[in-house]
Amino acid sequence: MPDSLNHADLGELPAWDLSDLYAGPDCPLLAADLATAEGEAAAFANRYQGKLAGLSGAELAQAIAEYEKLDEVLSKVMSFAGLLYASNMADPNIGRFYQGMSERVTGISVHLLFFTLEINRVEDRDLEIKLDNPELAAYRPFLRDTRIFRPHQLADDLEKLLHEKYVAGRASWTRLFDEHLADLRFSIRGEELTSAQALNLLSSTDPAVRREAAQVLGEVLGKNQRTFAHIMNTLIKDKEIEDRWRHYANPWSARNLANQVEDEVVDALLSAVRTAYPRLSHRYYALKAKWFGQDKLDYWDRNAPLPGDDDRKIPWAEAKRIVHDAYARFSPRMAEIGQQFFDNPWIDVPPRPGKNPGAFAHPVVPSAHPYLLLNYMGRTRDVMTLAHELGHGVHQYLCREQGHLQASTPLTLAETASVFGEMLTFRGLLDATTDPKTRKALLAGKVEDMINTVVRQIAFYQFERRLHTERRDGELSAERIADIWMEVQTESLGPAFRWEDSYRPYWTYIGHFVHSPFYVYAYAFGDCLVNSLYAAYQEAASKGQGAAFADKYMQMLSAAGTLHHTDLLAPFGLNLKDPSFWDKGLGLLDSFITELEGL
């Protein structure tokens, strides 16, 4: 295998065991759960439909508890089906099972659809009277988050139609994207590689391997870009139609509303990062070009190791130790929860054909536990990915105490724990390093990760905004999408690159554009927020108050989305509406680049 694709030196790479959910697709418990849920959902509708406004506070609380129990069962089923599918998207039997579960669960949940629609028709003053009941008051965050969509709610029959058609619409196009990408193979150095393996070679120490991988990626993706463009055009048009019916002002308005973040906060982040491009990404890549003895970098050298990097591979056991120790120095409780993921088969680690090529943490349901998916290849960047996803896992584990309906976190805060976990791990490695060459490599790696998290994700967000806006005037050709892609990449990464046409179709493999439109700014949001949060931690630690800070931090994670970001961050003295907040967050990246310039 070329470069680092031989995993023999990484130790045993564990796979997850989904039997904590169900033993398999034919599990009798799965069939029984579906049958029971179907009967109970129909009975629930008979019992409550058309009657919510007349219920007392205690009666409404009881109805919500019943709804929560039913929804948790259906979510557990779909978590199992989704995780099984992510582990092998190339298996047609698993694909059929996933589609079958999607259709079955959608059919059952139609009985429950009325519930949130009727909650939104209750008048504010009447709901406030009901909320005097303490049992109902416990569900106040759920009611708040449900009712923010009141102005955009459609008639019941339209909501039902959209709900039922989802499995044959957006969900089906998303599945087509996943399976098509999973089926692609990239022939490099005599090996047929998946997209994840081919992309990993862009970090090879061998410039010839980087170039070949980049050009093969471009060739294969380019041959398939019309299919990806059709998927993108269809999904954007589908979203535009629904947004228009729901009277959203902009294509990104629904995402901001769901994230419980004001448009002006996101706009301020976008503006701050774009203004900082010259002093961040442009400046760093000009510096990197000098390290390579060049005026400009070839685009395939963007994530290349520094000259002289020995490209040591980090075995899985060492990666676990690095992350655990970093977590433990901050909070023994955080390390204790994280260790459960290592002690139990809750992580799927090795890359393999058909597997989802990315990395994620899935919360499943409070009655179970989260699962993590990685494609671990032994690089320092892979260790940081482990720290990132384990941060999600710890967060999701803590949120279970809020119950199924209130355990989720807005995307803007959902990235806080993951990026904070990365920062803890990086600081642990940096503090243990005395060799100047190693320190330089670590700092450069962190700067590149931060640029990928902040600059690149904001560029992705800008790319999406332009696509969704321009699509309203008609379908976009693959060539036009690639033009927009190159314009945004050139603006964000700067003049220090030599581009080739082979880079034009690279937009095609980025799943966030398909799965979660406008999700990507959450990464930049989380990174800038964590930079400020970590600075507050350092200040507290310098005063001997590090343990107290860690306790407050864990309490913040445990709150999930029950509190608005203003209330969650107030104990740390942070205010996202402060115009200077984002500049402070970007200041840490600026300081790292300055340190590199002095080495």
- CA 551, CA 333: separation in Å to the nearest integer? 9
Residue 40 lies in a domain: yes
Q: Which one-letter amino acid corresponds to residue 239?
A: K
Q: Residue 1 pLDDT > 70, yes or no?
A: no
Three-state secondary structure call for residue 292: coil
CATH number at residue 430: 1.10.1370.30
- Whose structure tokens read 């009447």? 126
- Alpha-carbon Rg for the chain, nearest whole angstrom, is 24
- List, for residues 263-292, the tens digit of each pLDDT value: 888 999 999 999 999 999 999 999 999 999
Q: What is the 3-state secondary structure (H, E, C) of 121-163?
A: CCCHHHHHHHCCCHHHHCCHHHHHHHHCCHHHCCCHHHHHHHH
- List, for residues 6-58, the tens digit of each pLDDT value: 445 899 999 999 999 999 999 999 999 999 999 999 999 999 999 999 999 99
Closest by CA position to 379, among listed 313, 445, 429: 313
Residue 421 near residue 387, CB atoms below 8 Å: yes
Strand boundaries in 315-355, DSSP class E: 347-348
- Computed over every residue of the chain, the mean pLDDT equals 94
Q: Which one-letter amino acid corresponds to residue 386?
A: L
Domain boundary among 144, 168, 192: 168
- CA 403, CA 366: separation in Å to the nearest integer? 6
Range of the domain at 425: 316-450+523-598
Strand boundaries in 355-422, DSSP class E: 360-362, 371-373
Q: Which one-letter amino acid corresponds to residue 529?
A: L
- CA 565, CA 414: separation in Å to the nearest integer? 11
**Structural domains in the chain (count):** 2
Q: Residue 300 pLDDT > 90, yes or no?
A: yes
| Range name among 298-312, 369-383, 473-487, 494-508 with the lowest pLDDT average | 298-312
Residue 568 near residue 559, CB atoms below 8 Å: yes
- List, for residues 413-472, the tens digit of each pLDDT value: 888 999 999 999 999 999 988 888 888 999 999 999 999 999 999 999 999 999 999 999
Closest by CA position to 299, among listed 507, 490, 524, 158: 490
Between β-strands 347-348 and 297-298, what pairing exists: parallel, antiparallel or unpaired?
A: unpaired
- Indicate the helix (H) or strand (E) that contains 33: helix 28-48
How many other C-beta atoms are found inside a 10 Å radius of the C-beta of residue 366?
Answer: 21
Q: Which one-letter amino acid corresponds to residue 55?
A: L
What are the phi and psi torsion angles at 194 (to 5°)? -75, 170
pLDDT at position 310 is: 67
Three-state secondary structure call for residue 498: strand
Residue 281 lies in a domain: no
Domain boundary among 136, 168, 200: 168
Residue 182 lies in a domain: no
- List, for residues 513-523, the tens digit of each pLDDT value: 999 999 999 99
Domain boundary among 168, 184, 204: 168
CATH number at residue 64: 1.20.140.70
Residue 44 lies in a domain: yes
Residue 184 lies in a domain: no
| Range name among 375-379, 477-481, 580-584 with the lowest pLDDT average | 580-584
- CA 162, CA 148: separation in Å to the nearest integer? 19
Q: What percent of the chain has pLDDT over 90?
A: 87
